[in-house]
Copies of this chain bind each other. A is one copy, B any other.
Amino acid sequence: MTLKVSDIGEKELVRYIISHSRSITPDDTAITELGSTNLISTTDMLIQSRHFPENMSYFDMGFKAVTVNVSDLAAMGAEPLGFLLAIAMPKDLDLTHFKQIIDGVLKACIYYGIPLIGGDTNEADEIIITGTALGLAEKPIMKDTYDKGDLIAITGDIGLAALGFELDTLDNVYAKHALKPRAKLDEALILRDFATSATDITDGLASELYEIKKDGFGFMIYEEFLGISDEYKELSDQLNLDYLDLIFHVGEDFELLFTLSKENLEKLPIDCRVIGEVTDSDVIELTLENGFVERIENRGYEHYVSEQ
C-alpha cells in the first residue's frame, strides 16, 4: 500500500513545498522586497464541487474567488494593487452563467478597490477559479508577532457561515455569510497601525490559533466575549450541532484575528470584539461561560457532531 496525499493532509503537503524552497516565508502571503516597500502576493484556487455550496449563485462564485484572495492581503495589511483571474469551466456552461461569474469578479474588484489586471480561460469538467491577489505593504503585519499580555480581537462575529452551511433557508444572516463572504480589507488598512499581529480566519478560529502559536506563548479565549446569540445556540441545538464546534472548527468567516496592546485598543478607531489574551501558558484554552476551562482542539474544517 503506497502512501496517498490524503494520508498526509493539506498542511503537511504545503509544509513539504515550503521546506524545499528557500524563498517562502510561511505567513498569509508571499512577501517580496521591492525598494522601499514590499510586494504582497497570494493565490487561492476554488473548485466548484469543494468550495461552492449547491445553492450558490454564479455571481457569488465569482465574488468569492476575489474575496478569498483579498482576505490574505487584508491579513498582511496590504493595499491592493491588482487581481489576476484564471478560470476553467465546462464547455456546455451557459454563456449567461459565465457572464454572471465574471460580473461577480468585476463587482468584487470594484468593492475591494483592486483592479482586475489579467484573465485567462480554460476548459475543465467543473468550474475552477484561481485568483491571484497582489498588494503593497511597507510594513506587512505578520501573524505571530504578538507579545505576552496583548489582547486578542476579531473584526466581527464568527461561526455565522458555519451555521449558514447547515441551514436550508437563504434569507438569514447565516446563509448570507456562507454564500456572500466579505474580506475585511478596509478594517485591515486601519488596524495595521495598531495591531501587533494579524491573520484571517478561514479554517476556523481554532485552526488559526494553532497556526499562529509560538513556543512559550498561549492563548486564553473567553466564551462570554464571543458574542454568541441565543438564536445561534437554539438553531444549532435544533440541528443537533454543538455551537462551539461551529464557531471554532469550521471557518469561512474571513474576519481578521489580530492582537494589540490595551493602550492601542483604546485608540483603535474601528469596532472589534476582544475575545481573549496572549499568555505564557504554552496552551490554547477556552474559558466557558460556566467558568470551566478546556483545551481548544486543533481541528479545522471537518465533520462535527453534537456534544451532550
Where the two chains meet, the residues of A that have a C-beta atom closer than 8 Å to any C-beta of B are: 2-8, 10, 13-14, 16-18, 20-24, 29-30, 32, 34-35, 39, 41-45, 47, 49-50, 81-82, 84-96, 98-99, 102-103, 106, 109, 115-126, 128, 130, 132, 134
Q: Are A95 and B2 in contact (CB under 8 A)?
A: yes
Residues of B within 8 A of A115 (CB): 21-23
> A130 contacts B24, CB within 8 Å?
no
Q: How far is the CA of A35 from the CA of B39 in the complex (A)?
A: 13
Which residues of B sit under 8 angstroms from A96, Cβ to Cβ?
2-3
A227 to B: closest C-beta gap in Å:
31
Beyond A2-B94, A4-B93, A124-B128, 17 additional pairs, beta carbon < 8 A: A3-B96, A6-B91, A16-B102, A17-B85, A21-B115, A21-B117, A24-B118, A24-B119, A30-B117, A32-B81, A34-B34, A41-B82, A43-B120, A45-B87, A47-B122, A50-B124, A84-B132
**B7/A95 in contact, CB under 8 A:** yes
Q: Which of B3, B44, B119 contacts A94 (CB 8 A)?
A: B3
**Bound state CA distance, A22 and B109, in angstroms?**
11
Partner pick for A43 among B3, B90, B92, B118, CB 8 A cutoff:
B118
Which residues of chain B come closer than 8 Å to A17, judged between CB atoms?
Answer: 85, 102, 116, 119, 121
- A-B contacts, 8 listed (Cβ < 8 Å): A7-B95, A14-B121, A17-B119, A21-B116, A34-B34, A39-B82, A41-B134, A44-B120
A33 to chain B, nearest CB (A): 10
Top 10 nearest A-B pairs (CB, nearest first) are A23-B115, A130-B130, A6-B91, A30-B117, A30-B118, A17-B119, A3-B95, A45-B86, A21-B116, A43-B84
Q: Flag if A49 contacts B125 (CB, 8 Å).
A: yes
Chain B residues whose CB sits within 8 angstroms of the CB of A7 once the complex forms: 95
> Are A84 and B41 touching (Cβ within 8 A)?
yes
With a cutoff of 8 Å between Cβ atoms, the chain B residues found around residue A43 in the complex are 43, 84-86, 118, 120, 130, 132
